[in-house]
Amino acid sequence: EIVLTQSPGTLSLFPGERATLSCRASQSVSSNNLAWYQQKSGQAPRLLIYGVSSRAAGIPNRFSGSGSGTDFTLTISRLEPEDFAVYYCQQYGSSNFGGGTKVEIK
Amino acid sequence: EVQLVESGGGLVQPGGSLRLSCAASGFTFSNYWMSWVRQAPGKGLEWVANIKEDGSEQYYLDSVKGRFTISRDNAKKSLYLQMNSLRAEDTAVYYCARDSSGHYNAWGQGTLVTVSS
C-alpha cells in the first residue's frame, strides 16, 4: 500500500503570496495517478488537479501541479482569500489520501 | 448540473445498522464507477468502498469488509451503502463521489453518521 505524506501540516501565508505544498509517496506512483483536492471548512472536497498536472474544470490557472515518481507539488501562484483551506493529495491505485495541508492566513 | 445528494445518516448505537443513499442527477450515472469516502471529525479523507458501473465489482477498505455493502440501482440513479455492526470508529461524514478513472470529480455534500451509546 502506498502511503502519502503531505508537508507542511500547516502553511501560514499572506494573500498574494505563493504557496508550495508537498506530497511524498512511499513508493513510486504509476501512470501519473495523482490528484489534489481542496476542502473548505464545512464543505465537501473539490477536485483541483488530476493526472499530476491537469486542472479540473473551472479551476483557476493560479493552481498548478507537478512532480513524478514519489514527489509531487501543488503550487498556488498568488493566494486569493478564497484559497485558504485544507488541501489533500490522492493516489488512484488504492485511493489513498494524504493527511492534508492546511493553508491559513498569516 | 452534476448533483449528488446523500441521505440516511444519523445517530446509531454500537452494533447497529444504517443504510446510506446517494441520489445522482445531471450525468449518465450508469457510465461511472461510484465511491463512498468518509471523514471522521477533524480528520482527513478515507476511501471506504467503490462499485463498478454495472455493479458487478465492489471493493472495500479492509476495516469495513464483511460489515459494509455498497450497491447501486442504475434505473433509479442511486448509490447505497449498507452499514452493519457499526463501531464508534465508523463515526464520520460519509460522502458519495463520482469516480472518473480513479479521481473524484464530483462529490455530494455528505451525511453524518454518529455511532454512540
B71 vs B34: CA distance, rounded Å:
10
Query: Residue B106 above 90 pLDDT?
Result: yes
Chain B residue numbers with beta carbons less than 8 Å from the beta carbon of A35 are 102-104
If you count DSSP H runs as helices and E runs as strands, how many of each does chain A have, helices first?
0, 11
A95: distance to nearest CA of chain B, Å?
6
B3 touches chain A (CB under 8 A): no
DSSP A30: G
Spell B30-50 as b/e; 16+ CB within 10 A means b: eebbbbbbbbeeeeebbbbbb
Residue from B92, B111, B82 nearest B6 by CA: B111
* B74-97 per-position pLDDT tens digit: 999 999 999 999 999 999 999 999
Query: Can you tell me the mean pLDDT for B50-69?
Result: 97
Tens digits of per-residue pLDDT, B4-34? 999 999 999 999 999 999 999 999 999 999 9
Residue B111 pLDDT: 98
Does residue A60 surpass a pLDDT of 90? yes
Give yes or no for A21 touching B (CB within 8 A). Answer: no
> What per-residue confidence (pLDDT) applies to A29?
92
Given this model, what pLDDT does residue B51 score? 97
Q: Do A47 and B35 touch (CB under 8 A)?
A: no
For residues B110 and B48, the answer to whether their CB atoms sit within 8 Å is no
Query: Over pLDDT 90: what percentage of chain A?
Result: 92
pLDDT score, position A65: 98
| pLDDT score of A93 | 79
Q: Does A1 score more than 90 pLDDT?
A: no
Average pLDDT over all residues of chain B: 97
Mind telling me how many Å the CA of B42 is from chain A's nearest CA? 10
Query: Between B46, B50, B103, which is nearest A50 by CB?
Result: B103
Is the pLDDT at A95 greater than 90? The verdict is no
Contact criterion met (CB below 8 Å) for B11 and B116: yes
Residues A88 and A22: beta-carbon distance below 8 Å: no
Would you state the pLDDT for residue A31?
79
Q: Which residues of B touch A58 (CB under 8 A)?
A: none
Task: List chain A residues with CB under 8 Å of B104.
Answer: 35, 37, 45, 47, 90
CA B76 to chain centre: 16
A71 closest CA partner among A18, A31, A19, A34:
A34
In sequence order, which residues have a C-beta less than 8 Å from that of residue B43 and are 6 or more positions away? B92
Q: Considering chain A, what is the average pLDDT of its residues?
A: 96
The closest of B74, B52, B45, B47 to B63, measured between CA atoms, is B47
Instruction: Give the Cβ contact number of residue B61 at 10 Å.
Output: 17
Question: A32: pLDDT confidence band, cut at 50, 70 and 90?
Answer: confident
B71 pLDDT band (50/70/90 cuts)? very high
